[in-house]
Amino acid sequence: QDLLLQISQNVQRIYSHNQQSLRCLVVYGTRPELIKLMPLIRALKEAPHVCAVAVVSTGQHRELLLPLEKYFDVLPDGSMELMLSGQSLASLYNRAEMSMAHLFEHVQPSLVIVQGDTTTAMAAGVAAFHAGIHVVHVEAGLRTGDLSAPFPEEFNRKAIGIICSLCFAPTEVAQNALLIEGVLQDRVFNVGNTVIDALMDASKRPPREVVESGGVLLKSIVERKDGQSSLILTTNTSQLLLNGKHIVLITVHRRENSASGAFSRFGTAVATLATKYPSTQFVVSLHYNPLVRETLIPFWKDFTNIWLMEPPVYPVFVQLLLRVTILLTDSGGLQEEGIALHLPVLIMRTKTERMEGILAGGAKLVGDVVDDIVSATTSLIDDKSCYESMTKAINPYGNGTTSKQIVQILYNHRTNLLLLRPQFLLTFKTQSLVASTNTTTSKLRVRKRVETKHELHIRPHTITVILTGYKREPSLLEKQITELKKSTFKPDEIIFFQNEHHVDFTKVLEQHPDVKHVFNRNWNTKFHGRFTLALLADTEYVAVADDEIVPGEKWLAYAVGFVDREKAIVGNSGRRVKKGILDGSLDYQTSHDSKQGEGFTEVDFVGHWWVGERGLKLSGGEKQRVAIARMILKAPSLVLLDEATSSLDTESERKIQSALAALCKNRTSLIVAHRLSTIIHADEILVLKDGRIAESGRHEDLLNAGGIYAALWSQQQKKNDSNDSSEGVVVEDPPPTSEVDPKN
């Protein structure tokens, strides 16, 4: 009580100096919270016209916070020192919430700022909500969809999001997650992550000896007389970083991994890698958690290329990040920092709330199985192209201006934050479970069944169909499901998304128990909304069906266009080929924009010719041109070209390449080619040798690399020059880059 009274007096003293602005209270308790909040704290203190800011720590990570607070030269206005040895989560939360409630009662802040998903953030947020104080959540909206991973952080973050007056999401994905959960759009802001602010600041500081203030490495492990392990300081990171082809940085600490036995598997995996790559250095930042140390140290004590390190202060850690080549971690925040520094990140977890890094190509989810961890790390060490491709990922987590954006948004909303109680802002796009008094028992039964089904477990490499229900007759859904199940290309998964109960689909779904039925009253199942829902299905191949369309037998085939030179044009019946007819299956003259066929008159030479079995009356080039014309008329979503112009003369190839460039605009295109002139504008070129990817990159990059691709290009150019001189033919240059959409 005396400590809380002293903290209250410190905070009130700060507020008394600036009574015209918002009274802002920033709360943290762990090392990651302080790192991510420090740029914001500084920005707030530089804007007294916005708020008077006080800072309070719960001391949840006291040992890790003290050197960091010293480095930042910003001590909190009070520390509650709540952490006790062996304390349970429930005990920590209870003590933190009660202490916060007592503090808020005395100082009455206008708003409380919390960060992330810690027990400190959860306790401070709930205490503020109970006291009628605005909660502002920094790094809101991150989701795995599994309350057990990470535990208890996933629950904490979701619960805080419900009670926030303002949510600052780090990415568009996180912003959309909050909107899907019903948070109003004017309460959610995509501002980036403050950790990028902190990272950019630390990386720009003058390099200091990494050995300073916590940079000492713990090299040797000896046994004391009492049988306990002792770590001996023998070297420093400056010496280490001069050795080894690769330096792998490893951090391990997740609570759920300790319960599952994953720590032992991590120890085995790193030991296996250290044995396999003796010249590679493995640096381990040892968490203070005794279980982490007791489990991992025995695996590594005999290795000369495994280096153990006390958790360094942040600037030292950033200097280390700038020097290592691979990051192996089960951390959350390090996924963001690694990708921002173009460092390949291997995530030793089965799920992550930061999928943006994986989608960007800079991170991989390798799980907690020994073989998977070893295999993924081996690929980065042995395969230069694999390593370089991950280092080229674009950082999706911000540009270093997040703190300034948050301060500006707080200023823009200062009137509401000063005058309105939180309950006037905390409204959602939702309705009660029972929408009206005449809701049927059947509807309630369905709601109970589907609202509790949160996860979509989809096997890898499956074809998934997304169906949505919105004011449609149940018979239509029945027809859609039935046709899909008897189609030529049967989907592996059918998922039915539904929002508010405009229609009772109970009977249909009871007839198809294998169809996954997922319900959320706030989802948009109309128009573009169904495509957003498709992103929630963790699958690689997905088809989204319109809620008014019944798929045909070849629904998948019609989505893919490919050039097959040997395919009979209309079978062997001798039917007449006419412009605009494809296998007699669709009338493309009416179902496609008339402009779709413009520019393709050069290949529509068939006219009214009679074609024999398998097109034998046509030459190889003619058959190829007809095949291309068929694919063009189809206007597919995915274009597959396998040696599509190999049988054509130079002039025809030039014209068709120009037409294909227009066709491929805004479409995914996969091209197999030996004529390199046909692929010079591709986003990525994969060079295969002996069944493996030998090289990858854009045309210019591969030429500069001087490898296999460059040699093939040189050979083909010499051949073209020879043909020109012997035949007197002028070969025109390939279409300029401007003719091809750079996004293709």
Residues with catalytic roles: 117, 139, 153, 253, 255, 287
Please report, to the nearest 10 degrees, the dihedral formed by the alpha carbons of residues 378, 383, 388, 390 taken in order.
-40
Query: In whole angstroms, what is the distance from residue 52 CA to residue 24 CA?
Result: 6
| Residues with Cβ within 8 Å of residue 171, at least 6 apart in sequence | 141, 190, 192, 193, 356, 396, 397
List the beta bridge partners of residue 561: 639
Contact between residue 110 and residue 23 where contact means Cβ atoms under 8 Å apart: yes
Residue of 94, 83, 124 lying closest to 107 (CA atoms):
124
- Token look-up 């040699």 returns 711
List the beta bridge partners of residue 517: 496
DSSP type of residue 352: -
Residue of 140, 133, 168, 156 lying closest to 24 (CA atoms):
133
Query: In whole angstroms, what is the distance from residue 602 CA to residue 653 CA?
Result: 11
Rounded to an integer, what is the distance from CA 192 to the centroid of its chain?
14
Amino acid at the residue 51: C
- Token look-up 């290949």 returns 603
Q: What's the per-residue H, E or C state across 117-134? A: CCHHHHHHHHHHHHCCCE
User: Per the structure block, which two tokens stand in for 663?
Assistant: 């066709």
User: Per the structure block, which two tokens stand in for 518?
Assistant: 């997922």
- Token look-up 């998948």 returns 556
Contact between residue 616 and residue 569 where contact means Cβ atoms under 8 Å apart: no
Contact between residue 393 and residue 357 where contact means Cβ atoms under 8 Å apart: yes
Query: In whole angstroms, what is the distance from residue 527 CA to residue 193 CA?
Result: 31
Write out the DSSP string of 401-442.
Answer: -HHHHHHHHHHHTHHHHHHS-GGGT--BS---SS-STT--HH
Rounded to an integer, what is the distance from CA 209 to the centroid of its chain?
35
639 sits in the region (left: phi over 0; alpha: psi -120 to 50; else beta) called: beta
The dihedral built from the CA positions of residue 568, 570, 572 and 575, taken in this order, carries a sign that is negative
Query: In whole angstroms, what is the distance from residue 354 CA to residue 558 CA?
Result: 35
Rounded to an integer, what is the distance from CA 512 to the centroid of its chain?
33
Query: In whole angstroms, what is the distance from residue 157 CA to residue 141 CA?
Result: 7
User: Per the structure block, which two tokens stand in for 92?
Assistant: 């920590």
- Token look-up 């990386």 returns 203
How many distinct helices (H) and strands (E) make up the chain? 28, 26
User: Count of residues for the chain?
Assistant: 744
